[in-house]
Structure 1
Amino acid sequence: MGRFFGSVVGRWREFYRRSSIQMILSLSFTAVAVTGMVFLGLTLFLRFSASNNAQAAKTSQRVLAQVNLNLDAYLRSMMRVSDAMYYRVIKNTDLAADSLDDRMSLLYESNRDMLVSIAVFSQGGKLVSAAPLAPLKKDAAPQRQDWFIAAAGKIENLHFSTPHVQNLFEDPDYRYRWVVSLSRQVELTRAGAIEGGVLLVDMSFGGIEQICKDAELSASGGYLYLIDGDGEIIYHPRQQLIYAGLLQENNLAAAAYEDGSYEETFGGGRRQVTVKTVGYTGWKLVGVVPADNIWDNYGQLLLFFLFVVLFSVFLLIFVNLHLSERISVPIKALDRSVKKLEAGCELEEFEVGGPYEIEHLGHSIRSMVSTLRHLMDDIIEQETQKRRSELDVLQAQINPHFLYNTLDSVVWMTENGRTDEAILMVTSLARFFRISLSRGSNIIPIADELEHARHYLTIQKMRYKNKFSASIEAEDGVEALYTIKLIVQPILENAIYHGMAYADGDGKITVHAFREGGDVVIDVTDNGPGMPAGTVARLLDPAYTAAPGPKGSGIGLRNVHQRIRLTFGGGYGLSIHSEPDAGTRVRVRLPALDGAAAAPYRKEVAP
């Protein structure tokens, strides 16, 4: 999980790094706005859903309350019939002298729309009187009926039975009527003596069924059913299917509910259940509304919500793109100007526009660039002067060094009477310095540099009495290229002093100039004693200074190396390869410059 999260974060960072500021602003504004809209919409939708659920529960409670009132009125009418039969007829009749039949029939006729029958039984279950039917069935046993047993055990209390088929009396029409029995314990008077009995009032179940059936909980599938205190079903719109085992109802669980509304899961679906107790009977009205039917009312609202969200998203995208463009266009213009400046376009004008902060940033950058240009010009001028001074110092170090050694040889020759050789040496020295001066230019053709080296070798061969031979060669076209002056002579000087001093006529120095790609290479090779690796490593180290001796301080090679690097950069200069008893090769690497390419360097060092 952590690796997946890290991968997602890495991809987001890569997308953020590669995206433009306009894209980032547009996506950020749109994401924040859409998130806020969705959150607000969901909050309102959920609140509406909760409110709608509460309203549905209140509607169910109102319907159940109305049904309860109707049932209560219906049951009270039955109770009034029972009370009238008991208190006005039974208590005022002595069965030994009079009969209950006439007044019972009159009471039945007055309420025949709601009644099926009225009957009085003795304590042993013998029929005393009944209306409108009198003969009991031969196999009838009233004393074993639930209503009889319940009434006998609840003196002065009323008992309402569950719906059942009236099966006590012979019916000439052979009709089987569903009834709800209201039974009570009564006192019968016979010859002045009091004996127990049971009054039975059979109500038509159709009245209760009609009251419950007329109730409408929901226009999209809700229903209502009636149970007793033990959960036995009194009425259900699909009662026959339940009795046949083809349908199930959660009536036993509903019997444990207090009055109110509940959410339950039954039969693989969620539904809202509302419970209302029917007064003194202990019955309970149960209203059921499937949750799917409640959500059906949200269809149009949900479609409207989705339409508003989608329309708002498109509107936000359009507005955010326009707004981000207004912000990002000036920034992009500044970015393009900065890139052009990085590319070396010194005259680039910075775009200034957009919001206040961006406009202020543009002015600041433009002012900063102007200041930087002046500072860069000053720095370039200072660096040019510094480099010119450094080159002059290095040149000043080389010329006196060679002049001192050469004049020392001329003095020696003069003192020994070798006047012709001294004249030749002085003549070569004059030509040597003529090339060294080069009319003040530090950049000269390679042909002049090699000519300069020939005059130097002429002087040195005379001084060393031809202990060595020397040759200078150049490939075609190389001599027309340009180099800084006085780079070969110090290398030759080093080769003579350290490689040819002890030669006995067999010393050899070779100078070879050639092209190598875009560079010019000048190799100075001698067959002297060579040097160990440690000495070679120190020769070009600017921090290393050899102790002065009769053969010089060894600054020539380092000066040449520094002059080349100061003029052309770190990719050029000297490299030395030497092995003891195998000779030494010093390689000079320069850029191949023709006259046009050498012009900037010539201007740089002009006095």
Structure 2
Amino acid sequence: MKDMCFNAARHTNNILWGTVKQLKNRIVRFYKNLSIKKKLLLAFYIQIIIPMIFMGFLSYRNFAETINRMSMNYARDLLQMIELRFEDFLTNLSVISQDLLYDKTIYNALISKYIEDPILDYEIDNEISNTMKKIILSRPEVQAIAVVGNNGKFYYADDNSSTSSIKNILPYEKVLEKARKAQGKVTWYTDSSNGVVNYIYLVRTIYHQDTFEEIGLQAILVDKDFIKTVFDGLTRSMQNIVILSDGYDLIAARNSDSGYFIDGTSFGRLENERDSKIDRNINALVSYITVSGTGWKVITYVPLNVLYRDAYALRRNLLLLCIVTAIILSAFNLAIAMSFINPINRLVKGMKMVQKDNRIVYIDDEREDEIGFLNKTFNEMSREINHLVNWVYREQITRKEAELKALQAQINPHFLFNTLESINWMAMLNNVPEISEAVTDLSDLLEASIGRGDRLITVEEEFMYSDKYISIIKRRFEDKIEFRKEILNGAGKIKIPRLLIQPLVENAVYHGIDKLRGKGEILLKAYLEGERLVIIVMDTGPGIDSAELDALNRRLSMDNDTYFKNLSTEKRQSIGIENVNRRIKLFYGDNYGLKIESEKGKYTRVIVNIPANVESAEGYYVQGNDY
């Protein structure tokens, strides 16, 4: 399974790499096919327009980030001022609640279970009501006050602006539950509907001073409109301010933009005590704090279209500047480009006329720059070509007859073969078979060297030519040479350049066997090894010392460029082997060639490595020996 996944991933990578390579080739081909004018314009846009866009984008982004940072800092300062005002506001209300808590009349009324005297009861109720009204009249933030005892007594007072009495609107059970959780401390209760706070109460439970039993509930109805005074007088630049309850209901808001209304549900959940962020849901910069003791959120927000008004103007101006600059510079660049392109077009047109008609073309363009030099050179070249064409034409006519006669006098290769064939018949008629066999072998080798027929022959045919060479050589060395051939696993059918191996056999004879006092053996072996054909020519001669062997292998491993550059500076020691090696590298590539292995006093082995799957190619038929 892992192998399948790996193969699939590799296949996918190959496809992806192939696609990228094709795309790259298409882009390169597209660029090469562009005219010079389009290439100059393309270079201009890449070098000028793209940096301008990049710089404009960075300027706009830095400007926007600066606006964000400054707006957030300003919002934090503004919220800190509102927070201080809220603390004063809450402190004043806590003081009022504390004064009511320690009022003797209210306390005594709450601890009295029942008052039998109706006049006394009325007087106590009137005194408590007057105390509350004094507070309401002196403190504009207080709209109504109520004290409810466990004995069922309900003492309250309202201001004249109230449409409903606190006695009728106070949700006693809910307020009592919230106050009990605070355990005698001041806490806040907001009465909301449809996400909007209708009434705000400061509430606390009242306990018996001796037994610490709960004896009543205190509730102060806060004027909701008075809360807006915490942001009255503040700058209008941060015009959008929202105050939310701990249940995210809207308490108060300042928003002069009626078309950009935001309620308490627009901000989601604000988890931190204070923060500033870009809210993408409402497209605004939002900053907020949490008022301690209440859980309320004071939020300021600026719509992004207002916040980035100057940034948008800068972006618009930068874009306009880029467009105007691109138009002006394009016209300027096009004018410069045409001053180069028009002379080049005239030069190209003149070249086409010379190519078509072989006539003199003169380009009259008085310039002192490089194009002017090209025009002058072209004019001279045009005159010289016309002169050379006429001269060569006349020269060829005058030499034609002499060359035909000279060709007729050349030795015809057929004459050479016919002569050898005549010698062969004479040897047979005179009963000298040794001469006949030698002449026949020599004729076959000459035919192979001249290269009549296919340029590529099979390994079997190449080994046959080596047989004929050994046959001729044995007439000199007699039984001193033992020649052995091996062709393994179908290597005999592989085609190789003609007479590729014979120079190596020749080298083995004259540098190996010839230097022995006794008999020697030459092994000619061919086999397939993967996608390669390996041919080994081995002799049991005296071998090569290590220094000479290393130098020879170093030369054989050179690529063709390095070899031919060093050809005039280095001494060649084994011409036949080097010629065969160069033929292989020129024919098949620098990855193939010869390698020599030798052990002094034992053997020398020449290893030929060539590809086995080459059927036809243009070869280089260099052959020779070094004697």
TM-score after normalising by structure 1: 0.49
Structure index of larger Rg: 1
Structure with higher RCO (Cα < 8 A, 6+ apart): 1
TM-score after normalising by structure 2: 0.47
